Structure 1
Amino acid sequence: MSAPAQPTARDRRRWSQYLVDERAEARVYRELAARKDGEEREILTALADAEGRHEAHWLRLLGGEPERLPRPHTGTVLLGWMARRFGSIFVLALAQNAEARSPYDDEPFATATMAADEKIHHEVVRGLAARGRRRLSGTFRAAVFGANDGLVSNLALVMGIGATGVAPQFVLFSGIAGLLAGALSMGAGEFVSVRSQRELLAATEPNDYADASLPHLDLDANELALVYRTRGMSEDEALARARLVVTAAQEGTAPHGAPLDPPSDHELVGGAWNAAISSFLFFASGAIIPVLPWIFGLSGFAAVATALVLVGIALMATGAMVGLLSGGPPLRRALRQLAIGFGAAAVTYVLGWIFGVSVG
């Protein structure tokens, strides 16, 4: 890209905006780095330093610090606020989206290096966010599914029961019964599901059963190479790895890494008790929301309308959260959750109304 010969006042205002945004982004990464240690802290600090180099570029073009500067974009300010108060996974998920919207591709006064930096930053932030998502995956999946199942199923239940024209006390009793039954079912189901998955992984993972036999294997013809071939290595790679391991075992030294054990996938699955408890609690917290109007004495249309508003807010909140953590558009995810939940409630309401009319 080629820059115009003479910048305009509009160009300078745009540079000033870039300047404050780069400073704000650098502060976000430094705030996150202060909450980390080890490799993640080094990566976040390096990102902040890179934003500092971009800041210096705009300062040079402006000829020094301007007397008046604009405010950073609202999204960057929000990131900084969240970085100081919440866990990094939410901030990194938002930062991932922000880095994907870099303006430097079409900015004539930005260097090609700066545009390339922003693309690399997006991948770096995505990688850091992915680490957090992996740590959250098991328990978070159970929590989100539990909350949404509680919201949708109990809303559908009370809408269907309420549409039949029964007394408000019966609607309340049905909602509480649906909450307890659903929460217990979800908790038990998650426990069995996660425990079974972990047991399946444990059964498929190698152990140290054969390690004691390694020194006695024939260096030139040994079945250890077959072990590595079952893990996806080519024949030559498997044989080279097997020779390395057998030689090390015969010499009494240990090669880098365990001889047979690959990385475990248990971290991705999560813990059975964590998943079960999260699923129970979040289902119950979701399922109680549609029942609140009847708990506080409302009935009829007022209770139905209040339940729809409360559940709609909760559905949009959980949908937006999933969108943030998955790197997708939060509003689209929120509206999708709302449509699914209200669609299910509408079907059961109509069925309940038809049933109530036929009985009456």
Structure 2
Amino acid sequence: MPFDAPPHTAAPSPALIRQWQRHLANERMEEQVYRRLAQRRRGEDRDILLSLADAERRHQQHWIGLLGKHAGRRRMPALGVLVLAALGRVFGSIFVLALAQQAEAKSPYDSDSFASDEMAADEKVHAEVIRALAAKSRSRLSGNFRAAVFGANDGLVSNLALVLGVGAAGLAPHQVLLTGISGLLAGALSMGAGEFVSVRSQRELLDASEPDPASTEVLPALNIDANELALVFRARGMTAEEAARAAETAIRKSQARAVVTFLPSSMQSSDHEELGTGLGAAAASFCFFASGAVIPILPYLLGATGLTAIVLAAGLVGLALLVTGGIVGILSGRAPLPRALRQLAIGFGAAGITYALGLLFGASAG
């Protein structure tokens, strides 16, 4: 059903027509994005994305009704929508969903008197729908992706600080390069080992809290009247009545040779997917630390020396910090630029301190 357009007596100005045409172009492009995403999904997620696409088509009818004879003029969508559509053709759905969440949350309809209240409300609800869809993908990414991002940033910052510090102290270029390579290997190995131990320890702690599968073998021998099994369920948070019913059900299932678990239904998601695997997290941390740490020594590998090498190293690392910070911002559903600048400030702050200390020690030694 088309939306009711606000009444207006005067003919719309050219500027207003262009604004409506831009809104129409945005809605058309967003519909295409949701339909492309739906093609990559199955089940409930696919149906939800198609419903969002249908909603964007309803919004188009509102602007078509206002534009009348001017609806046939095609305009370019807003830059953010164009970027969203372009990235949607290249990257996975998590990246596109994160961008779509930002786009829906910044809808211009709140301040546009020609957009209906229903449309403005739709956009806010769409943002929450996208947030929920993106949350599923974020939970799958969070383990190994966290290790990868932290590893890359640690490699960038720590090795830049190391290279600038020893370079400012007056070491020869080949000595700076050797120091940078040593820092790369030492840091990558340390990060990989630390991440492996961290993830494995977390998994072992969680596994220790889960029921022992072998304990279900004794269930058929339990006294169903005394029902000691109820104590297990009570210890896991059930009330006495709930525990008694759960224990009786578990014993009857065991007698029928059905699968039994001692966990309440609310606690039966125990695959720890969000942690990632120990080896996966270690490999990601090692590789991404190394990929970050190699950037500050690239100028020295290519034969640059002195101030030229320092400036090149700082510039390359600055670009990399902006990229990684921006990606983290996008995937977290936040504006990428502030996160990119924050990453840059932290990295250059640490490197600046070591560079100043290197100058100080170099002057003292001289």
Task: Give, in whole Å, the separation in 2 of the partners of 1:253 and 1:109.
Answer: 65
Shift of 1:217: 5.4
Shift of 1:228: 3.8
Residue aligned with 2:81, SS: helix
Corresponding residue of 2:350: 344
Task: Give, in whole Å, the separation in 2 of the partners of 1:111 and 1:149.
Answer: 48
For residue 94 of structure 1, the aligned residue among 93, 99, 109 is 99
Equivalent positions of 1:87-126 (< 5 A) are: 87-126=92-131
RMSD: 2.5
One-letter identity of the residue aligned with 2:6: A
Preserved contact between residue 152 and residue 344 of structure 1 (Cα < 8 Å):
yes
Preserved contact between residue 150 and residue 287 of structure 1 (Cα < 8 Å):
yes
Shift of 1:212: 4.0
Preserved contact between residue 144 and residue 282 of structure 1 (Cα < 8 Å):
yes
Deviations 1:315-341 (A, max 9, x none): 111111111111122111111111111
Task: Give, in whole Å, the separation in 2 of the partners of 1:111 and 1:237.
Answer: 49
The yes-or-no answer on 1:70 pairing with 2:75 is yes
The yes-or-no answer on 1:326 pairing with 2:332 is yes
Deviates more, 1:35-44 or 1:9-18: 9-18
Shift of 1:247: 5.6
In structure 2, relative to structure 1, the CA distance for the partners of 1:72 and 1:211 (3 Å cut) is same
Preserved contact between residue 294 and residue 303 of structure 1 (Cα < 8 Å):
yes
The alignment of Structure 1 onto Structure 2 pairs a total of residues equal to 358
The yes-or-no answer on 1:49 pairing with 2:49 is no
Deviations 1:247-279 (A, max 9, x none): 6556x4969x95637111520100111111111
Preserved contact between residue 4 and residue 108 of structure 1 (Cα < 8 Å):
no
Equivalent positions of 1:85-234 (< 5 A) are: 85-214=90-219, 222-234=227-239
Task: Give, in whole Å, the separation in 1 of the partners of 2:111 and 2:245.
Answer: 49
One-letter identity of the residue aligned with 1:199: E
In structure 2, relative to structure 1, the CA distance for the partners of 1:240 and 1:196 (3 Å cut) is same
Shift of 1:306: 0.7
Preserved contact between residue 17 and residue 70 of structure 2 (Cα < 8 Å):
no
TM superposition score normalised by structure 1: 0.90
Task: Give, in whole Å, the separation in 2 of the partners of 1:235 and 1:22.
Answer: 55
Corresponding residue of 1:22: 27
Shift of 1:162: 0.5
Residue aligned with 1:63, SS: helix
Deviates more, 1:38-47 or 1:16-25: 38-47
Task: Give, in whole Å, the separation in 2 of the partners of 1:75 and 1:231.
Answer: 49
One-letter identity of the residue aligned with 1:3: P
In structure 2, relative to structure 1, the CA distance for the partners of 1:33 and 1:218 (3 Å cut) is same
Preserved contact between residue 5 and residue 66 of structure 2 (Cα < 8 Å):
no
Shift of 1:107: 3.0
In structure 2, relative to structure 1, the CA distance for the partners of 1:22 and 1:242 (3 Å cut) is farther
Deviations 1:279-306 (A, max 9, x none): 1111111111101111111111111111
In structure 2, relative to structure 1, the CA distance for the partners of 1:78 and 1:232 (3 Å cut) is farther
In structure 2, relative to structure 1, the CA distance for the partners of 1:227 and 1:109 (3 Å cut) is farther
Q: Which runs of 5+ in 1 are unaligned?
A: none
Deviates more, 1:37-46 or 1:182-191: 37-46
Task: Give, in whole Å, the separation in 2 of the partners of 1:231 and 1:127.
Answer: 29
Preserved contact between residue 162 and residue 171 of structure 1 (Cα < 8 Å):
yes
Identity of aligned residues (%): 58
Corresponding residue of 1:312: 318
Deviates more, 1:208-217 or 1:267-276: 208-217
Shift of 1:138: 1.0
Deviates more, 1:340-349 or 1:45-54: 45-54
Preserved contact between residue 211 and residue 262 of structure 2 (Cα < 8 Å):
no
Residue aligned with 1:34, SS: helix
Task: Give, in whole Å, the separation in 2 of the partners of 1:305 and 1:32.
Answer: 42
For residue 354 of structure 1, the aligned residue among 344, 351, 360 is 360
Preserved contact between residue 225 and residue 242 of structure 1 (Cα < 8 Å):
yes
Task: Give, in whole Å, the separation in 2 of the partners of 1:259 and 1:116.
Answer: 44
Deviates more, 1:6-15 or 1:276-285: 6-15
Task: Give, in whole Å, the separation in 2 of the partners of 1:85 and 1:265.
Answer: 30
Preserved contact between residue 92 and residue 128 of structure 1 (Cα < 8 Å):
yes
